[in-house]
Amino acid sequence: MDERPAASVWAVTTLEPPPTPNPDSAAVEHGEVLVCVDPRTGATTARIPVDGPEEVARSIAAARDAARSWAAATPRDRSRYLLRVRDRILERAEQLVETICAATGKQPAEAATTELMAVVETIGFYAEHAERWLRDQPVHPGSLLHKRAWKRYEPLGVVGVISPWNYPFTLAMTPVVTALAAGNTVVLKPSDVTATVGEEVRALFDDDEWPGLVRVVQGGAATGDALVRGGVDKIAFTGSARTGRLVMAAAAERLTPVLLELGGKDPMIVRADADLDRATRGAVWGSMQNSGQTCMSVERVYVDASVHDEFVERVVRQVEQIRQDDSGSGDIGSMTFPPQVEVVERHVADAVAKGARVLVGGGRLDRPGYWFAPTVLVDVDHTMDVMREETFGPVLPIMRTTSDEEAVALANDSRYGLNSSVWSADEDRAAELAARIEAGNVCINDCIVSYAVTGLPFGGVKESGIGRVHGAEGLREFTQVKSIMATRFRAPREPWWFPVPARLADLSIRTLRLRFGSTWRRRLGR
Ligand code: NAD
């Protein structure tokens, strides 16, 4: 079952239902206005008009106009511009943090690190490396020694970015900045749940220097769908696997390429020789930070039986001490999206009904807003949703294993494959296990933070996605490769042109034997 939150707590009224209705994300669309809510209190913070298909089409056209001159700018000029955007982020840092916290329920420390720091790093990274990675790359011409060949990385044109609510700044800005660094312009549709952060992104690019580089359109599924079908040159989508499927199907109509960064059910494997102090702190932070609403949260833990009880005892002690409040200086804040709280409740109830025990937490906090207590579950197994579906909340289920083999088999028993972690004092053994985990990313003796190494490509396998962000691979996601071949010498003709020489077949076979025959390989010892 692909379970995503149903929008049942919200009145959902759109003037025009989306062509591919997705009840999940039209959650705060009331008529033509997005009603933005502070999840810490439930108070309304803003009303933002929804953009219909006409506005989406106008934005794509404006971005296409801007694309010509932006593509013609040198990578160095583009980098200089991005660094000026970075300056604006730093100037407005406090205001950005405040907007992010009011939209998501995060703590300021979480917003400052996982949102601002991540974006500032990414801008600096591509400002430094984009020029080199976009340079023409020579290619050996193989047997055609009289040819010269090279690859050229060209911008795609206009990229449509669709982003989620859990890291509304980072996950909007990362594809936006990368697409710009590669010479594209962008139309961004931020999450309808955190539309106020989308307005901050709009303001960052609102200048006379390069008008139209980044257009922001607001709305839910219908606006996103209009963008996907609107004739952009690529869609960079971050969100649930369920919406990812809809996006890919809609994009298929025009054969628009897609980059999909989707959900996860990240496993954590703890071997008997692991440093339990570090591993338990890692498990607690990795499952609870951002109230568990991270695509690469630790969603399930497999602990060797010999250290299971001690591991659980330490985890429970630490979870009981988590400071969960809206003081601005706690460890975690509220959850963001009310339907997601329902998913968390359902997963805990399903686990308990099937025999799991709740050692700490287990339910909502009795206060306004969307608060769920940090929760630890034991005696869990793979019949339970909490071990198979994305929970996306502050819940840590811990399962006992009897061998590395069993732990790896359980880790791989998932349709997701985003991030994962192995904890062991034996780094070589951990690396062996890492190689066998079906995931796009693995951390050894840490979790989640591989994303912060901007040089490492990040993305999923299986239903966790297609394509990569970060690194050279992430930049080149927003380019098309043009392959160019030139003739070095001005010979009057090629040997295979008409009329085909009578001896061409014979000559070709002899040349092949000479170059690739086993006699030579044996003599050269290959
Ligand atoms: P979601 O799929 O509900 O929505 C994502 C975005 O898609 C929103 O902007 C939404 O308005 C838009 N949308 C909804 N229906 C659409 C449609 N039919 N066509 C086009 N756009 C549409 O996801 P969410 O609830 O906002 O985010 C949480 C999910 O995102 C989780 O599954 C999480 O794991 C995943 N996620 C993945 C990554 C990653 O990098 N792999 C990062 C963060 C979040």
Pocket test for ligand 1, best of 3, 22, 25, 418 (most atoms within 8 A of CB): 25
Tell me the average pLDDT across 233-237: 99
pLDDT band at 165 (very low <50, low <70, confident <90, very high): very high
pLDDT digits (tens, 9 = 90+) for 172-197: 999 999 999 999 999 999 999 999 99
> Quick one: pLDDT at residue 26?
39
Q: Are residues 185 and 87 in the same domain?
A: yes
> Quick one: pLDDT at residue 20?
39
- Tell me the residue range of the domain where 521 lies: 498-526
Tell me the average pLDDT across 495-521: 91
Spacing, Cα 298 to ligand 1 middle (Å): 19
Number of domains in the chain: 3
pTM reported for the whole predicted model? 0.94
Spacing, Cα 378 to ligand 1 middle (Å): 30
> Quick one: pLDDT at residue 143?
87
Q: Are residues 224 and 329 in the same domain?
A: no
Pairing mode of beta strands 33-38, 29-30 = antiparallel
Q: Are residues 205 and 290 in the same domain?
A: no
pLDDT digits (tens, 9 = 90+) for 5-37: 433 223 222 333 333 333 444 344 545 899 999
Spacing, Cα 385 to ligand 1 middle (Å): 20
Q: Are residues 225 and 339 in the same domain?
A: no
Spacing, Cα 240 to ligand 1 middle (Å): 4
| Alpha-carbon span 322 to 311, nearest angstrom | 17
Q: Are residues 40 and 64 in the same domain?
A: yes
Token digits of residue 507: 């000559």
In a domain, 7, yes or no: no
Q: Are residues 297 and 240 in the same domain?
A: no
Pocket test for ligand 1, best of 243, 289, 448, 461 (most atoms within 8 A of CB): 243
pLDDT digits (tens, 9 = 90+) for 381-425: 999 999 999 999 999 999 999 999 999 999 999 999 999 999 999
| Alpha-carbon span 285 to 482, nearest angstrom | 45
Q: Are residues 307 and 182 in the same domain?
A: no
Residue 268's closest CA among 292, 291, 294, 300?
Answer: 300
CA nearest ligand 1 atom 37, residue: 262
Residue 320 falls in the annotated catalytic set: no
Quick check: 1 pLDDT over 60?
no
Quick check: 485 pLDDT over 90?
yes
Quick check: 330 pLDDT over 70?
yes
Please tell me which residue in 115, 261, 389, 463 is annotated as part of the active site: 261
Residue 3 CB neighbours (<10 A): 17
Pocket test for ligand 1, best of 12, 166, 174, 217 (most atoms within 8 A of CB): 166
Q: Are residues 155 and 242 in the same domain?
A: yes
Quick check: 2 pLDDT over 60?
no
* Total residues found in the chain within this entry: 526
Q: Are residues 476 and 331 in the same domain?
A: no
Spacing, Cα 243 to ligand 1 middle (Å): 6
Q: Are residues 216 and 292 in the same domain?
A: no
Spacing, Cα 97 to ligand 1 middle (Å): 22
Q: Are residues 293 and 367 in the same domain?
A: yes
Name all residues whose Cβ lies below 6 A of ligand 1: 18, 20, 22, 24-25, 162-166, 171, 189, 191-192, 220-221, 224-225, 228, 238-240, 243, 246-247, 261-264, 295, 390, 392, 418, 460, 465
In a domain, 490, yes or no: no
Residue 261 falls in the annotated catalytic set: yes
Tell me the average pLDDT across 97-108: 97
Residue 260 β-bridge partners? 237, 466
CATH number of the domain at 415, please.
Answer: 3.40.309.10
Q: Are residues 46 and 150 in the same domain?
A: yes
pLDDT band at 518 (very low <50, low <70, confident <90, very high): confident
pLDDT digits (tens, 9 = 90+) for 412-458: 999 999 999 999 999 999 999 999 999 999 999 999 999 999 999 99
Residue 297's closest CA among 423, 443, 150, 453?
Answer: 443
Please tell me which residue in 36, 295, 443, 447 is annotated as part of the active site: 295
Quick check: 126 pLDDT over 60?
yes
CATH number of the domain at 225, please.
Answer: 3.40.605.10
